[in-house]
Amino acid sequence: MSLDKLENQQGRAGRDYGKGLYIGGEWLAAHDNKSFDVLNPATGAVWGQVPDAGRLDAQAAIAAAASAQPAWAGLTFYQRGVLLGRVADVLERRRDEFIAALTAECGGWVRKSNFEITYAPTVYRAAAAEAYRQVGEMMPSDHHKVSMVQRVPLGVVSVISPWNVPLLLSSRGLGVALAMGNTVVLKPSEETPITGGLMLAEVFEEAGMPPGVLNVVTCSRERVAEVGDELVVNPLIKAISFTGSTAVGKQIAATAGGLLKKACVELGSKDSLLVLDDADLDRAVSAARFGAFFHQGQICMATEKIIVDRSRADEFLAKFIIATKELRVGDPTRLENQIGPIINRKQADAVERHLARAIEQGVTVEHGGGRDGLFFEPTVITGATPQMAIFHDEVFGPVANIITADDEDHAIALANDSEYGLSASVMTRDESRGLRVADRLETGMAHVNDTTIYDEPTIPFGGVKNSGMGRHGGRWSAETFTTTRWMTIERGGRKTPF
């Protein structure tokens, strides 16, 4: 189905997806039969209803994963790769369903939903390729032993995924972890439990994945603390993949560290796009507009600081405002509406507070600033300084913050003046200069002449400082979700003292 035919299509109701919690290959109600509503943020209507799991349900899912793990790890790399490939095949067959469901549950523009279902199958195909990668090496031995180093699966991995890009980010936590022989318990966000979890469980079931390899527990905000705690502290859990807020991620990492468990956490950000004095302004405006406003700015890699050389600032601002005025706010199922709703009232209120405080502290609103329920206008502000909260705090909304720099060194200093360090980009006509500047930015990822929002399934995705620790993607995920083991064979070359 083409995108134009998906305009105004809300898709099947969320209640039609999944039949309960997915534990050990079975669809089960929560132990106490509780459930909760899932809302469509664009309409405010109840879109679906899903089980509200508690700690007992999480324990059952973990036990099912632990029971299935030895047999899953015992399959050949080829068998695991084939099954992950089938997951990708099913996702592609159900493409239209996922576009409609993602648009309804997340409130994202239909083209964002199209991107997500296009990208997600590549995550599983790349993970399948990781199953074929070298998982060990031979070491030299002073005593002529056969000395081998192996990468072996950890066991059960818990994946706690966010609401903003639910299908993609759940898949990112699953793919390579499964390819390496681990089993998984997935807890999607309470805002997007269907596209981030239950629909994925249906896909895995249809692909013929063995029972217990993937288990999905959904829970409401009221129960997220007990379920999330179980997915970290349970002794059968050996590693945690978490994407979400810095405050929660720090707590998870600290708890996991105390229990000597691995934790890969991707957290908040305050990403900068630097426009140097020799930049192609049309290209810079395009990259900045996409980075600031895609999915209403609700992306971990969103461009929250646009740092422009003073000599180009007036021209850039004029072009950027014209480009921003072209964006339309409204029903995200319609192709002409690039800006949909904020995910919920709590987040919309937070964006409004960030902006109101910035205005009180002296910023100028150059465009936008209005709100209608969960719909927030794309907003452009100027005049922020390092003394203001909005210079440092993650807004996670459609607010483009344009900041003027005196020169290249000043631009780099403004970008690095942050507790975060996820992504950054540099706009310049001189690629060598761009690389030199990018090399000085304190981020886990940096791009030259591109937006801050960019990802591929085989790269080391992650940040520094308060943006997290560990890496997802390719062989870096393989390292995250395995442990190193040394084995030897003695062939008589070394005598013991007895």
- Annotated catalytic residues are 266, 300
Which tokens hold the place of 283?
A: 């290209």
Token pair listed for 479: 């390292």
Output the DSSP codes for 422-463. SEEEEE-S-HHHHHHHHHTS-SSEEEESS-S----TTS-B--
CA-to-CA separations, 471 to 80, 168, 173, 410, 464, in angstroms, rounded? 22, 15, 10, 30, 10
- DSSP-derived letter for residue 277 is T
Cβ 282 vs Cβ 317: under 8 Å = no
Q: What is the Cα gyration radius of the chain?
A: 24
- Phi (first) and psi of residue 296, to 5 degrees: 60, 25
Beta bridge partners of 291: none
Classified as helix, coil or strand, 157 is: strand
Angle at 472 between CA 469 and CA 476, to 5 degrees: 95
* Residue indicated by tokens 């993937």: 214
DSSP H helical ranges for 153-279: 166-179, 199-206, 224-233, 246-258
If one counts every other C-beta atom within 10 angstroms of the C-beta of residue 97, the result is 19
Q: Assess contact for 303 and 451: CB atoms under 8 A.
A: yes
Token pair, residue 126, equals 């790349």
Sorted by sequence, the CB contacts under 8 Å of residue 305 that are 6+ apart come out as 270, 271, 272, 273, 391, 401, 403, 414, 415
Give, in order, the Cα–Cα distances in Å from 47 to each of 10, 79, 155.
9, 37, 36
> Phi/psi at 295 (nearest 5 deg)?
55, 40
Helices (H), 223-312: 224-233, 246-258, 281-293
**Which two tokens mark 101?**
């469901």
In terms of Cα–Cα distance, which of 160, 178, 181 is closest to 169? 160
